[in-house]
Chains A and B, each alone.
Chain A
Amino acid sequence: MQMAPEMMAKGKAETLITVDIADMKISNDIGSTLVTYALGSCIAVILYDPVQRCGGMIHYMLPLSNKSPEKAANNPAMFADTGIPKLFEKMYELGCRKENIIVKVAGGGQLYDDKGTFNIGKRNYTVMRKMFWKNNIIVSAEDVGGAKSRTAKLRIADGRVTIKVKGVEEVL
């Protein structure tokens, strides 16, 4: 069904679109790849609609916006509870449909000694899971937790997601 991405890009160099910390990006340019670096306790939610060939990625820092409503209004991508719905909305605006969207998740890491006081990665993950459960969203693949810093990429041409940890890249 799908053409090789190399053919679609017709020899053009792929455009890397960087998703910063507390940031989200969407793209339907099949020559582009979304990338986010240094996911520690932060989480990347990666969406892809193979019908529309459209993808989106958020790199959120924190689980809940209730203590910082101004920050959330200013930059919804900082928090899971304001950012994730916004990312879906942006996908819908480009014609994507919920039932077609494939959801992948990466990040939520922690330091070595986490006993809870510092475990923002786990809180980030729990809040996201609750939101997905309430909204009937299924996560098709994830690479989360551990003392790992991850780089995540989404290739818009075919929805391929890769995760790189300590120089080793694998398909998610």
Chain B
Amino acid sequence: MISKEQVLRKIESLPTLPTAVAQLSKLIADPSASARDFEAVIKPDPSLTANLLRLANSAYFGLRREVTSVRQAITLLGNKRVFEIAASAAFSRVIPSHIPGYRIESSQFWLHSIAVAVLAERLAVELHIKAPGLLFTAGLLHDLGKLAIGQFLEDEQSELLSKLSAEEMSFSEAEKEMLGTDHSEVGEEIAKQWDLPDSVIWTARWHHNPETMKNVDNALVDLVHLADCMAHMFGYGADVGELARAVDPRVASRLGFNVHSIEAVGSDTEEQIREMGEMFK
């Protein structure tokens, strides 16, 4: 059996997010930070800037005209939104072309990530929940633990598949049985090491177990939990874990959704998810 320590050591060998994202995370927590501070961090990274502008110009962010500079993006979208887009653009660059264990390609992993980000935000609107801070980023990065854990699961693939098909075991439970940890715990560690904001750390940690979370923003984790279930249900980014999951009944009662709200969110977001999903293939 693989030890939890082995899995955690793997984190160190992952490609890291560009340092700009950690710097931006500090700025986003600093009320005195100005638009100019944000610009100064992003602008020196041309690849980050290019990807940020591509994403910012997608229909989802609702700009009426094309933005061609970081400054314009900040002026029109604000610091918080630009941080969220920058983190997404940076994340798209560190996804390996294939994530073993989960049997998922980078394009599908990206599609799933963007779907959860979009669905979580749209759910907040549909369910009249005040969008918690950095919901988009928290949704987008919720599965970052999978980047480190995949290789170990690959070695145990047949056992994993038999657990998933024979017993009604959730994917996280199967990970835990085989590795002593799961992608939520590993994701929390990565988010901490990458100096990401608390909302990302919490969501990475609790999105499969919102009932056990403590001292965190319930709404944030609840929305990502539900959005994650929806994304898998609609088939945005199939990995081997697929439908082996459940909506937590406490989340369901806290959020108070029904089948019609789920369907409305599903139909409203399909085009936007598709557009951004195809962006970083």
Chain A residues near B (Cβ < 8 Å): 20-22, 37-42, 61-63, 67-68, 71, 75, 78-79, 109-113, 116-121, 123, 147-149, 166-167
Cross-interface CB contact of B259 among A79, A113, A119, cutoff 8 Å: A119
Complex CA gap A120/B260 in Å reads: 9
B207: Cβ under 8 A from any A Cβ: no
Complex CA gap A42/B249 in Å reads: 23
**Can you list 10 contacts pairing A with B, beta carbon distance less than 8 Å?**
A38-B238, A40-B235, A67-B264, A68-B267, A71-B268, A111-B233, A112-B246, A117-B257, A118-B247, A149-B238
Chain A residues with CB under 8 Å of B127's CB are none
Evaluate contact between A112 and B244: CB separation under 8 angstroms.
Answer: yes
Evaluate contact between A118 and B229: CB separation under 8 angstroms.
Answer: yes
Digitize B236-270: 1 where CB-to-A-CB distance is under 8 Å, 0 elsewhere: 11101011111101001000011110111011101
Evaluate contact between A38 and B165: CB separation under 8 angstroms.
Answer: no
A59 CB, min distance to chain B CBs, angstroms: 8
Complex CA gap A41/B229 in Å reads: 11
Chain B residues with CB under 8 Å of A21's CB are 234-236, 270, 274
Evaluate contact between B270 and A37: CB separation under 8 angstroms.
Answer: no
Complex CA gap A61/B244 in Å reads: 19
Evaluate contact between B245 and A111: CB separation under 8 angstroms.
Answer: yes
Evaluate contact between A116 and B259: CB separation under 8 angstroms.
Answer: yes
Evaluate contact between A38 and B235: CB separation under 8 angstroms.
Answer: yes
Evaluate contact between A110 and B243: CB separation under 8 angstroms.
Answer: yes
Evaluate contact between B233 and A40: CB separation under 8 angstroms.
Answer: yes
Q: Is the interface of B mostly helix, strand, loop or mixed?
A: helix
- List the 4 closest A-B pairs by CB distance, nearest first: A38-B235, A38-B238, A113-B246, A149-B242
Chain A residues with CB under 8 Å of B274's CB are 20-21
B161: Cβ under 8 A from any A Cβ: yes
A162 CB, min distance to chain B CBs, angstroms: 16
Chain B residues with CB under 8 Å of A148's CB are 242-243
Closest to B256 in A: A117
Evaluate contact between B233 and A118: CB separation under 8 angstroms.
Answer: yes
B208: Cβ under 8 A from any A Cβ: no
B232: Cβ under 8 A from any A Cβ: yes
Closest to B273 in A: A21
Chain B residues with CB under 8 Å of A119's CB are 259
A45 CB, min distance to chain B CBs, angstroms: 15
Closest to B232 in A: A40
Cross-interface CB contact of A68 among B168, B170, B232, B264, cutoff 8 Å: B264
Complex CA gap A19/B213 in Å reads: 39
Given contacts A61-B267, A67-B260, A109-B243, contact A39 B161 (CB under 8 A): no
Cross-interface CB contact of A78 among B161, B229, B246, B270, cutoff 8 Å: B270
Complex CA gap A22/B243 in Å reads: 19
Closest to B257 in A: A117
Complex CA gap A79/B264 in Å reads: 12
Complex CA gap A121/B146 in Å reads: 27
Cross-interface CB contact of B235 among A37, A110, A113, A166, cutoff 8 Å: A37
Inter-chain pairs besides A37-B235, A40-B232, A112-B168, 14 sampled, C-beta below 8 Å: A40-B233, A61-B266, A62-B263, A62-B267, A75-B270, A79-B267, A112-B170, A117-B247, A118-B247, A120-B262, A147-B242, A147-B244, A148-B242, A149-B242
Given contacts A61-B270, A166-B165, contact A118 B242 (CB under 8 A): no
A108 CB, min distance to chain B CBs, angstroms: 11
B255 CB, min distance to chain A CBs, angstroms: 10
Digitize B159-183: 1 where CB-to-A-CB distance is under 8 Å, 0 elsewhere: 0010011001010000000000000
Complex CA gap A2/B103 in Å reads: 36
Closest to A112 in B: B246
Digitize B215-241: 1 where CB-to-A-CB distance is under 8 Å, 0 elsewhere: 000000000000001001111111010
Complex CA gap A128/B245 in Å reads: 26
Complex CA gap A166/B246 in Å reads: 18
Complex CA gap A71/B265 in Å reads: 12
Closest to B164 in A: A166
Evaluate contact between A166 and B161: CB separation under 8 angstroms.
Answer: yes
A81 CB, min distance to chain B CBs, angstroms: 13
Closest to A59 in B: B235
